[in-house]
Amino acid sequence: MELLQLFFFYLVAFVAVVSGFCVISCKNPINSAISLVMTFFCLAIFYVMLHAPFMAAVQIMVYAGAIMVLIIFVMMLLNQGSEVIARYRHAVTGAFIAAVLMLIQVVVILKNGGVSGMVGPNTAEVVESVGHTELIGQAMFTDFLLPFEIASILLLVAIVGAVVLAKREV
């Protein structure tokens, strides 16, 4: 069972990394967008594996649904063809060096330190018996009520800002 779990993890991780690579390497932006949707689905699978089914549902609805539809919509509106991938070679090498340095940094930190933090009461058993959505709702409408309200104002500002920016004459 444990081995099967690990095998499944590596399978989904492999798909996530390959589709993430397609996002940054595909010439056509539409192909990048479709690969990004695949990455989002893989991450949703990880959220389910981490006992967070509500976050998986939100991931698929908000990211793979709303945001990707918006991006593809704008892409088709602007009607851009395939692009030239990189004009300057030093930009590509610089980016690879930056990314590899960051990866090395993370691996070194993970190797030298352990995970610590405020341990809460919500273990996997508690989440399964109470329900993940209930726990999220309880936390959001008691401890995080003010940030929740601020987020709603942020969304309102974003709606107005998007209309003002995209309209020809306000």
Residue 151 engages other proteins in binding (rule: CB under 8 A): yes
Shortest Cβ 55–other proteins spacing (Å): 6
The only residue of 11, 66, 128, 131 in contact with other proteins, by rule CB under 8 A:
66
Residue 51 engages other proteins in binding (rule: CB under 8 A): yes
What is the total residue count of the chain?
A: 170
User: Would you give the DSSP letter of residue 79?
Assistant: T
Task: Compute how many other C-beta atoms are within 10 angstroms of the C-beta atom of residue 19.
Answer: 19
Q: Which is nearer to other proteins, 118 or 129 (CB)?
A: 118
Residue 165 engages other proteins in binding (rule: CB under 8 A): yes
Q: Which of residues 81-140 bind other proteins (CB under 8 A)?
A: 83-87, 91-92, 94-96, 98-100, 102-103, 106-107, 110, 115, 117-124, 126-127, 135-136, 139-140
Quick one: angle between helices 132-142 and 145-166, nearest 10? 90
Full DSSP string of 84-113: ---S-HHHHHHHHHHHHHHHHHHHHHHHH-
